[in-house]
Structure 1
């Protein structure tokens, strides 16, 4: 056997290499599937917020209307609610308490939380002072120390819990013993401790200023008359991430049942269980289900191609041993002996080839484990062993079948130099069945009968069908063309076509090259299209190259910080953006921007917005009514009667986007009067509305005229009636020419108002398709969460950083008479990620805290870390191996038939064909066949991509906004097709040249 292998080194190497490829594909699939799953677990657990990967159990007392609140069980009692089977997956729990800490302060109270945790001081950096050790001692953050001036030894007065409904407010002192800095990246507390010092919360009543979390000792939360408000016992279990893999993540979904535990629900308390582990486990399980389908389907066409080529190699090699089999049969060894002769030589080669295939699979999996995120390692599991055993059985079975095929051939056929080969138009039964199956399945794909991950096999089916058709067309067409050229005495081209028509391996070669090229082209197309769509989705989700999320809604401070950053960097691509997402489903999100700054900062998709959208969102030319001074006076005449009490005249003035209301006094029943009131307009404000107020449920009627309006004695023009809007139909109608006259007629309305058009005019917006109005009355959500009238100025396909239902509005227009509330999310968008650091410093100098930073690169990074992405990237391996298989097929054709071809070339030379023509024929004859196969395969791959790509999962979860673009990347596809033509053509020419060098006259003596 060894001598036979030494004599046929090329055949043995080709057979072993193909066996290695088949083995590598089969064994690599379960390895890679497992590596992807483990990497996914590491990614999800590492990148999820600490609160999502922890189990936080809190318990608070049931609120009571009178008397002291009931006692809250201690933190360690909460652990009884956690099943013992789950505790192994968590670290040692930390225990503590949390309560509200409200500090009476002027002009606004300070509000926040004070907490204790097991060994809390060991998980923060103590900047000054010491750790709290007794009741009432607190450790404040360095930001609170700077913002509020707290120093060690200072006593901070704090409200205590009321013991009775009518009990007056009482205070207790908390002693500052030091300051701390939070350790970034630590998940010990399962929630952030800092980041909002000094932020004003205006959307609660009364408004408060937030302080950051203060750390204290458990003794601070003792029951008694000085107990802090709303005490909660807390147990925090942080996930032991190094103990959790893909096999364990599913069991963590059981933490959702902790909330239903009778331990928590059997007491007079309110339990609160927080964790994101069930959602994380469900997301991972969904992607794992995808991976179990995607990886085999991606590698199956490649493994099948390798197996088909392996079979062709076995058929060719066994055909080359026909004479040896004939001798064995004539010596009486029979069919079994002949089969043992062939199998004894070929099976060891196949099994030896499986060894480097196994090594390649392990090496590829190891490399994948290093390249993919996380700490996934190689695991020798049952699926790997089953795949290895299965591929060995297939390899040995294919070799045994190929050996039996030749061993069973009658002796009279074996003694012929070659097997009989039919070159007509008739198709063999097996090929006819394959072609029919390909056509049927292709039709199913085109009509949508087959979709989803199964689409990965579409290109192979198209290519196999095209390859079979080409294979059966080329032979007769080449023969007919060659004969026609001979009649025209074009001997060179005619001999090339006739030579191709005589080739026994032509059909198999064309089929294999077509399928291999199709898989290569489809793989490149799929990888590039998927990457392009991830990039589009990332740009849409990010909105800008970098976005700073701001804590609070102090737009004035943010503007000051932006001005400072622009001055320092000289880059104007820094702009504020306010996002308002009202509650409810579906809801229309408002994106409030400064159009010119937004246009040069945001990642705007080409053609997504109207070309003139900046002009469409520009504010109208109506000027506000400016007031500068402290005393507003106005003359009124006429009369508005109320059914209960006289109507009271009031004004709304706006300064720094804050609306102040002031009452000037009751209107006279008839005649005239001069009314006045102090207004906060020393630095100029705007008059936004005039109001008339009566008693609850009363009606008002009459007419009142305003003139001689002045501030600190300086006259002020109210404008004409067209610049004031009516209230509720005809309830209040502005009129008049020189002075403003209001005609009032209400029925049960206690207040009516007329608003100056600078504040009440419709807001021009650009809306996405789903957010367009269906009627004339169109409104959007303003900065303060209230409805604002809007005019549709333009339409957009999508807005960057916004959901599918969104409108784009001018921030300065919306800001005229409103201030961002809790629904408004304030952020700063940057046109370059390099602007993050200077902008952060500029904002910090204005006291603006950041909740987080997101970048385009980070969003794209998150999209890249998913099983669909990693699975599609296998296309790189598929394309390279497919091209390698095509090269091997050409090499096999040359190795198996070089003797016959060399003899034919020598015969042409002897027959009088010039040596130059024979030389060109040897080199150029394979090229037309290669070109036809490659171009046919590229076309089949493109058709397969067009059909299959829409059904291939490109994302773990579909993006909120559809940015799908499945256009073919023509330049890379054409480049890959050209590369296939070049490589295969060079190999074909090189093998032809090598055969020509062996076309000596002595070859003719070998006989026929």
Structure 2
């Protein structure tokens, strides 16, 4: 019997090879999914580790020690700290200690940081002299040396200091005995953002002093000096051994142990690290991959089983006469069964064995090419799914032969199936459609949770729609064939009838539709994900490059510094966050909108950046009130004030040269004419008046009276003091003219809550505001200074760069002028366009800005490309390729089975006078027409499946921002993929038609020779 089966296989070796290849593809597709997930797990970890920030690759163990504590309760020793880190191998540690010291900076406002940091000299560039080597030696920064006129070889005296917050004598006071030190050199910092420096902020700019420059020394010098509190730290940098993807669980356990037993380090020790955030991101990426890969793996496996079912069914139908003869000879049932299934089962088993190896090897090759340097595990763990895949292939093969095994002999002798409706087929199709509906509804009700039935919703949709389409379209093909016959188009009619009357044509059409649908769905997913990553790395970052500014920087300082660096507004823009009070107020940005169009990454689907910029920054109604020197004077005449407590006069000013903001306290307001004078350092190069404030010391008392501001000086040109229309007072009084100056009438029955402010009318009022999301419910938002800021909405945007779909956007210059506070800017940044020069960081640093972060859109894009969703979608490319191979193989096998009977039929028709042209049409268009129908319906199926389920796929990466991410693929991607699949399948179809035509011609020539 075995020899007979082998003979059968050899006689139909073309069909056997095709079926073997289909089984190979089917099992390989099933093996590829778990194999790819294994490879992707490691690639995700490697990618996230490679793109992690410094804080995510390090930890800091820090504490404050006071050597004067007698009980030793807060004593910290580096050896004790180091011993607690023994469970974290693979880290390199850097020891540091520091305390505040005074002696070289004039005044009490500022102190120096006296720092010991292990191996600091290797990361500094000595400009003069040498690094400290022994006790009593220090080095200082170049800028500090120039500012304080110090040089290498100079002796200085320093002493430990601590800050006193005494309101009458605030500043740094001595906290130790003085010590004479020697400056051995001056330094520059080549890379202040290098990981070596950790997050200590050594080089953060100090207002009034410029970039920070610690005084570096030796550990012996720190011990030698008399001091109190000392900040000690160990910075641990994770090396390749610590962040090896295979040892992440060990690292997680070590960190958990370190944090769970703080008693080993002491209560004074704090541990700071963002490594757990990195580990969580890796886990989240892997979880996303484990959701995304099965979404297309399931329909691919179903398509593979369907292709085997179709191929075996086609082959068995072609052998029905043989099986009928075996049944008529009275063979035992096992002989009949073996002869029926042996040929197909042998091919399927051979293909399944080869498919197990091919799937794993293919994934290994793809992983090696797609994840270079990742060292993907070349193991065979995924083969544990191979027996299940092989069993599924065998069951599909047996199920396809059920009629030939158990049906009556009379049916085996028929060339065409018995007419009538197949109730079992109808029932099967109804179950498939019902499962598709239930799975889709479950996905919607679970809010997109890809678990349970919801996970297979795309698979059942891509199976149900083709089945329905095949049942509905083939009758239409029959109708077309009849019409073609009536019109005399015999070639087209024969081609159409071959499709509509062939027993397996419906299943073949469904298979080809599913093939196109799987490839189309993969294209939808890949295209939407790629565009989403582009939005996140562009609109989500805000600009081509974003620099975070450290230290206490005033809004006016930031604005001035950026405009000095880029006076033409071609590539740099100052940006700060707006405060928002409570959860009901959306976040906001204040930007230098004159540069918005040149710098910002702008959302599509709304007004242009240039249009919004013109709305946010209209012309100022009047020029600002300017002071031309540091000696500010105010002359004012007070009368009829009823307040019993002290009333004070205050001015707030902003430097026009980037020196900062200041609150100028002028003192008590007394009846009669008074002259006030204060020297304000930030005004030494000119400043702008932000506002005049009347403040009641006690508060909550009724206040009324008159104040005439006689003069402000030194005033700039065009002094508007006597023009009431150039001033604004929104509460607690009114402003009118007076022959002696500006008359302020105060009427505050409830007291001067928040102060009585008189501000210049040098900005639009209310402030123009653009927004995304819901329109602001109130007519004001929280201003830059914390108080209410009246707004006038001027534009509705799809999203605000960096903040997303629910945010606001205002002009930084107008907001800053309206603010009367002197608080530092909130989250100051400099956004840079593509045209920013390479030395932009140096240029900004020269203006006193310290760059603490540098985010690039391209870098964020690369990070997103290495997260779980992006890496898992490469499986979709594999799945699309497998689907096309399965569809092409099934088409080849169907044509091979049909070939014998069609050669007989067409040869007979040739003998009856069928012309060569009509013969060519009948052979040329049969399967191409089928492929064309499948391509159109498959495209629609992919779109339907994407509409129903695509929204649930986690394509946006880990913790995606609230951005208008695309939900629909681009037409070129989907249509292009469909056309590509169509071309592949139609080439196969044309080749089968040419082969059929050659065989008919060959048989015709043989008949003539006879």
TM-score normalised by L of structure 2:
0.85
Instruction: Indicate the residue corresponding to 1:520 in structure 2.
Output: 519
Query: CA shift at 1:606, angstroms?
Result: 2.9
Distance in 1 between residues matched to 2:937 and 2:731, nearest whole Å: 72
Indicate conservation of the 8 Å contact 2:627/2:714, yes or no.
Answer: yes
Equivalent of 1:442 in 433, 437, 440 = 437
Indicate conservation of the 8 Å contact 1:24/1:360, yes or no.
Answer: yes
Distance in 1 between residues matched to 2:62 and 2:297, nearest whole Å: 49
Instruction: Indicate the residue corresponding to 2:677 in structure 1.
Output: 677
Instruction: Indicate the residue corresponding to 2:291 in structure 1.
Output: 293
Equivalent residue runs for 1:401-800 within 5 Å: 406=404, 416=413, 421-424=417-420, 426-442=421-437, 444-445=439-440, 448-449=444-445, 451-453=448-450, 457-483=456-482, 485-487=484-486, 489-552=488-551, 553=553, 566=566, 572-581=570-579, 588-609=586-607, 611=611, 614-628=614-628, 639-641=639-641, 651-656=651-656, 658-660=660-662, 669=671, 673=673, 675=675, 677=677, 684-692=686-694, 696=698, 701-707=704-710, 711=714, 716-726=719-729, 728-729=731-732, 732-738=733-739, 739-745=741-747, 752-758=755-761, 762-769=765-772, 772-776=775-779, 778-782=780-784, 788-800=789-801
Instruction: Indicate the residue corresponding to 2:170 in structure 1.
Output: none
Instruction: Indicate the residue corresponding to 1:205 in structure 2.
Output: none
Instruction: Indicate the residue corresponding to 1:812 in structure 2.
Output: 813
> What secondary structure sits across from 1:160 in the alignment?
strand
> Alpha carbons of 1:236 and 1:304: their partners in 2 closer, same or farther (altered >3 Å)?
same
Find out whether 1:56 has 2:60 as its counterpart. Answer: yes
Indicate conservation of the 8 Å contact 2:590/2:812, yes or no.
Answer: yes
Instruction: Indicate the residue corresponding to 2:99 in structure 1.
Output: 99
Distance in 2 between residues matched to 1:242 and 1:481, nearest whole Å: 70
Query: CA shift at 1:467, angstroms?
Result: 2.5
Distance in 2 between residues matched to 1:554 and 1:702, nearest whole Å: 34
Query: CA shift at 1:499, angstroms?
Result: 3.0
Aligned length: 979
Q: Deviations over 1:868-923 (max 9, x none)?
A: 22223432222232222222222111111101001111111112222321222221
Distance in 2 between residues matched to 1:439 and 1:712, nearest whole Å: 82
Distance in 1 between residues matched to 2:428 and 2:59, nearest whole Å: 59
Indicate conservation of the 8 Å contact 2:627/2:715, yes or no.
Answer: no
Q: Deviations over 1:787-807 (max 9, x none)?
A: 544443443332112355533
Using the TM superposition, name which of 758-767 and 513-522 deviates more: 758-767
Find out whether 1:200 has 2:206 as its counterpart. Answer: yes
> What secondary structure sits across from 2:55 in the alignment?
coil
Distance in 1 between residues matched to 2:704 and 2:756, nearest whole Å: 14
> What secondary structure sits across from 1:888 in the alignment?
helix
Indicate conservation of the 8 Å contact 1:31/1:379, yes or no.
Answer: no
Instruction: Indicate the residue corresponding to 1:72 in structure 2.
Output: 75
Find out whether 1:17 has 2:34 as its counterpart. Answer: no
> What secondary structure sits across from 2:836 in the alignment?
helix
Unaligned segments of structure 1, at least 5 residues: 203-207
Find out whether 1:172 has 2:179 as its counterpart. Answer: yes
Instruction: Indicate the residue corresponding to 2:902 in structure 1.
Output: 901
Equivalent residue runs for 1:174-189 within 5 Å: 174-178=181-185, 179=187, 181=189, 187=195
Q: Deviations over 1:304-339 (max 9, x none)?
A: 212211222223334444565567677886333454
Equivalent residue runs for 1:816-835 within 5 Å: 816=817, 821-832=823-834, 834-835=835-836
Q: Deviations over 1:666-713 (max 9, x none)?
A: 6664xx546353665675544444445666467754324344767599
Distance in 1 between residues matched to 2:689 and 2:188, nearest whole Å: 47
> Alpha carbons of 1:456 and 1:24: their partners in 2 closer, same or farther (altered >3 Å)?
same
Q: Deviations over 1:503-536 (max 9, x none)?
A: 2321121111111111122221221122122222
> Alpha carbons of 1:406 and 1:188: their partners in 2 closer, same or farther (altered >3 Å)?
farther
Distance in 1 between residues matched to 2:200 and 2:632, nearest whole Å: 48
Instruction: Indicate the residue corresponding to 2:993 in structure 1.
Output: 992
> Alpha carbons of 1:756 and 1:38: their partners in 2 closer, same or farther (altered >3 Å)?
same
Distance in 2 between residues matched to 1:91 and 1:629, nearest whole Å: 55
Instruction: Indicate the residue corresponding to 1:892 in structure 2.
Output: 893
Using the TM superposition, name which of 745-754 and 4-13 deviates more: 745-754
Query: CA shift at 1:992, angstroms?
Result: 1.8
TM-score normalised by L of structure 1:
0.85
Query: CA shift at 1:502, angstroms?
Result: 2.7
Distance in 1 between residues matched to 2:544 and 2:754, nearest whole Å: 48
Indicate conservation of the 8 Å contact 1:58/1:273, yes or no.
Answer: yes
Indicate conservation of the 8 Å contact 2:42/2:376, yes or no.
Answer: no
Distance in 2 between residues matched to 1:1002 and 1:653, nearest whole Å: 102
Instruction: Indicate the residue corresponding to 1:870 in structure 2.
Output: 871
Distance in 2 between residues matched to 1:713 and 1:351, nearest whole Å: 94
Indicate conservation of the 8 Å contact 1:590/1:808, yes or no.
Answer: yes
Query: CA shift at 1:431, angstroms?
Result: 4.5
> Alpha carbons of 1:192 and 1:361: their partners in 2 closer, same or farther (altered >3 Å)?
farther
Distance in 2 between residues matched to 1:586 and 1:145, nearest whole Å: 50
Query: CA shift at 1:604, angstroms?
Result: 1.6
Distance in 2 between residues matched to 1:464 and 1:124, nearest whole Å: 66
Indicate conservation of the 8 Å contact 2:549/2:850, yes or no.
Answer: yes
Using the TM superposition, name which of 957-966 and 377-386 deviates more: 377-386
> What secondary structure sits across from 1:623 in the alignment?
coil
Instruction: Indicate the residue corresponding to 1:920 in structure 2.
Output: 921
Using the TM superposition, name which of 570-579 and 166-175 deviates more: 166-175
Indicate conservation of the 8 Å contact 2:206/2:212, yes or no.
Answer: no
Equivalent residue runs for 1:259-408 within 5 Å: 259-264=259-264, 267=266, 269-322=267-320, 334-340=332-338, 345-354=343-352, 356-372=354-370, 375-379=373-377, 383-399=381-397, 406=404
Distance in 2 between residues matched to 1:781 and 1:307, nearest whole Å: 64
Distance in 2 between residues matched to 1:575 and 1:879, nearest whole Å: 45
Distance in 1 between residues matched to 2:140 and 2:332, nearest whole Å: 95
> Alpha carbons of 1:479 and 1:844: their partners in 2 closer, same or farther (altered >3 Å)?
closer
Distance in 2 between residues matched to 1:587 and 1:228, nearest whole Å: 47
Distance in 2 between residues matched to 1:110 and 1:958, nearest whole Å: 41
Q: Deviations over 1:332-383 (max 9, x none)?
A: 8633345445666555543443455345433433344345557433335674
Q: Deviations over 1:220-262 (max 9, x none)?
A: 443x8x3445313433443343354556434544424534425
Indicate conservation of the 8 Å contact 1:328/1:338, yes or no.
Answer: yes
> Alpha carbons of 1:557 and 1:661: their partners in 2 closer, same or farther (altered >3 Å)?
closer
> Alpha carbons of 1:635 and 1:102: their partners in 2 closer, same or farther (altered >3 Å)?
closer
> What secondary structure sits across from 2:576 in the alignment?
strand
Query: CA shift at 1:544, angstroms?
Result: 1.6
Distance in 2 between residues matched to 1:708 and 1:533, nearest whole Å: 59
